[in-house]
């Protein structure tokens, strides 16, 4: 490390900036925990509110639909706000939504709480990564983005071990309120400059940005492939890998823990060699689905297939978590004049992928788990091919500046 590099690193990771990035990571953690809450609590919610499992399962689909429909309009509506205000607004809505969910006397009221959470989901994910990149020099933008995604990985770990859905909603409410106050006190206001204001809101031209659209479409295909199987990951671990009982929860926790490690390992390569890092992770993710597909069609369960299956699940968790911020960084680099709007288009594509994947996964699951995994492997392969064919779009130099 040269003296100049060491000086830059020391100046970048000051205690104040570290605290600010920690607040952003905590916001990501809380929002994702709130989003995936129904996944591990389907039976409990259905029993408590006296509705069917299918009805509770639709909470995820409708959440993704609402988020997909509201992200771009809300990002445009708030485009002229200081970025801190947009983030705090999202966190206030999250806090209120979780309070409603915790106290919900009926399924209809729970739906209202989920909708309020979903409405500002896209806004938060559109501004949180650009805020992180504005806190550091352009050379550290990838690492700043990765740092906030540690929160999403931890959410997967906590979500897999969560108990008592109302208690969980209460805890999320309190945590969201604390993070809202912390964001208001610790983050700079981040007012947009006159030059930046010329490119946001209705003046944004992201629909004409071919590179940004291609990255978003590749994201949508990849997320669809992931969610086709992720929606039924518990079934895959039980029936394909062969892990049952209490051990299943620990495999889910390992899935999330692998993501925590992965975002740390790929943070520096994302700044230095983004194209290679993204393609490497997508190739590994495709390989994980291919292995699980082979196990699903194989049928025989041995100690070797058990270890291979668990390894594939852990690899899936590591790389699926790492790829998300990589693609969001690519979207922001290709829409550097308005990274919030570019991030909004990426988030919309991501939510459409979640919705399509959960619906498609349900249809395929009724026929065969093996076919479901085959579809995931095929779609991930298509996304990988799209990245390889457009790899120049993944290496665009970051041009964002540090604001205060």
Which residue, 150, 139, 136, is CA-closest to 263? 150
359-371 pLDDT, tens digit per residue, is 888 888 888 899 9
pLDDT band at 12, cuts 50/70/90?
Answer: low
Total Cβ atoms within 10 A of residue 342: 29
* Average pLDDT of the residues of the chain: 82
**Has residue 116 got a pLDDT over 90?**
yes
Instruction: State residue 399's pLDDT score.
Output: 42
**Has residue 1 got a pLDDT over 50?**
no
Which residue, 117, 144, 110, 127, is CA-closest to 18? 144
302-335 pLDDT, tens digit per residue, is 888 899 999 999 999 999 888 888 888 888 777 7
Total Cβ atoms within 10 A of residue 7: 11
Instruction: State residue 154's pLDDT score.
Output: 66
DSSP 241-270: I---TTHHHHHHHHHHHHHHHHHHHSHHHH
Instruction: State residue 292's pLDDT score.
Output: 96
**Has residue 160 got a pLDDT over 60?**
no
Q: Mapping DSSP to helix (H, G, I), strand (E, B) and coil, where does residue 2 land?
A: coil
Element (H, E) at 353: helix 339-367
Residue 254: phi and psi, rounded to 5, are -65, -35
Residues 97 and 117: beta-carbon distance below 8 Å? yes
- Token pair for 60: 């995820």
Among 179-183, 185-189, 350-354, 391-395, whose mean pLDDT is lowest?
391-395
Among 198-212, 220-234, 257-271, whose mean pLDDT is lowest?
198-212
Instruction: State residue 400's pLDDT score.
Output: 40
Residues 145 and 374: beta-carbon distance below 8 Å? no
**Has residue 377 got a pLDDT over 70?**
yes
Instruction: State residue 398's pLDDT score.
Output: 45
Average pLDDT over residues 137-142: 74
Average pLDDT over residues 21-45: 82
d(CA 174, CA 18): 23
Among 199-203, 253-257, 346-350, 399-403, whose mean pLDDT is lowest?
399-403
Residues 200 and 341: beta-carbon distance below 8 Å? yes
Instruction: State residue 8's pLDDT score.
Output: 47
277-293 pLDDT, tens digit per residue, is 889 889 999 999 999 99
Which residue, 172, 173, 125, 140, is CA-closest to 24? 125
Instruction: State residue 198's pLDDT score.
Output: 56
**If you compute the radius of gyration of the chain from its CA atoms, what whole number of angstroms results?**
20
Total Cβ atoms within 10 A of residue 287: 18
**Has residue 4 got a pLDDT over 50?**
no
- Token pair for 271: 């700044």
CA distances from 139 to 50, 134, 144, 376, 388 (A): 53, 11, 10, 34, 24
Maximum separation of any 2 CA atoms in the chain, in Å: 64
Which residue, 152, 147, 125, is CA-closest to 339? 125
Where b means 16+ CB within 10 Å and e means fewer, 159-170 reads bbebeebeebbb
Q: Which residues, including other chains, have CB under 8 Å from residue 401's CB and lie 6 or more apart?
A: 134, 138
Average pLDDT over residues 98-111: 92
What is the pTM for the complete model shown?
Answer: 0.78
**Has residue 7 got a pLDDT over 50?**
no
Which residue, 39, 73, 44, is CA-closest to 58? 39
37-74 pLDDT, tens digit per residue, is 776 666 678 888 888 866 777 787 788 889 889 988 88
Which residue, 113, 227, 91, 232, is CA-closest to 165? 113
Instruction: State residue 289's pLDDT score.
Output: 97
Instruction: State residue 194's pLDDT score.
Output: 59
**Has residue 233 got a pLDDT over 50?**
yes
- Token pair for 10: 């020391």
Residues 36 and 169: beta-carbon distance below 8 Å? no
């Amino acid at each position: 490390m040269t003296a100049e590099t060491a000086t830059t690193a020391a100046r970048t990771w000051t205690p104040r900036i570290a605290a600010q990035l920690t607040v952003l990571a905590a916001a990501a953690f809380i929002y994702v925990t709130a989003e995936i809450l129904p996944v591990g609590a389907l039976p409990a919610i259905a029993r408590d509110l006296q509705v069917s499992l299918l009805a509770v399962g639709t909470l995820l689909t409708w959440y993704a639909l609402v988020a997909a429909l509201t992200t771009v309009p809300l990002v445009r509506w708030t485009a002229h706000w200081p970025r801190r205000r947009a983030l705090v607004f999202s966190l206030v809505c999250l806090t209120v939504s979780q309070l409603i969910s915790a106290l919900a006397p009926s399924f209809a009221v729970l739906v209202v709480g989920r909708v309020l959470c979903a409405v500002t989901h896209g806004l938060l994910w559109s501004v949180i990564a650009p805020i992180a990149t504005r806190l550091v020099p352009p050379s550290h933008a990838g690492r700043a983005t990765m740092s906030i995604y540690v929160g999403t990985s931890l959410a997967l770990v906590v979500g897999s071990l969560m108990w008592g859905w109302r208690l969980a909603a209460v805890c999320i409410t309190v945590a969201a309120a604390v993070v809202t106050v912390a964001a208001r006190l610790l983050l700079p206001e981040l007012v947009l400059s006159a030059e930046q204001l010329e490119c946001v809101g209705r003046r944004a031209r992201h629909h004409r940005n071919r590179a940004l659209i291609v990255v978003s479409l590749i994201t949508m295909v990849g997320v669809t492939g992931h969610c086709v199987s992720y929606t039924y990951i518990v079934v895959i671990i039980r029936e394909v890998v062969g892990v049952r009982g209490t051990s299943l929860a620990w495999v889910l926790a390992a899935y999330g823990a692998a993501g925590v490690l992965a975002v740390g390992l790929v943070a520096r390569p994302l700044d230095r060699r983004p194209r290679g890092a993204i393609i490497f992770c997508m190739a590994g993710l495709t390989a994980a689905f291919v292995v699980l597909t082979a196990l699903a069609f194989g049928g025989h369960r041995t100690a070797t297939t058990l270890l291979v299956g668990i390894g594939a699940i852990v690899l899936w968790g590591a790389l699926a978590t790492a790829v998300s911020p990589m693609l969001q960084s690519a979207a922001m680099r290709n829409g550097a004049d308005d990274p919030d709007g570019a991030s909004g288009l990426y988030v919309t594509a991501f939510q459409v992928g979640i919705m399509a994947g959960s619906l498609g996964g349900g249809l395929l699951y009724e026929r065969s788990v093996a076919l479901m995994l085959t579809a995931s492997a095929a779609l991930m392969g298509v996304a990988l091919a799209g990245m390889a064919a457009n790899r120049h779009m993944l290496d665009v130099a970051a041009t964002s500046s540090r604001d205060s």
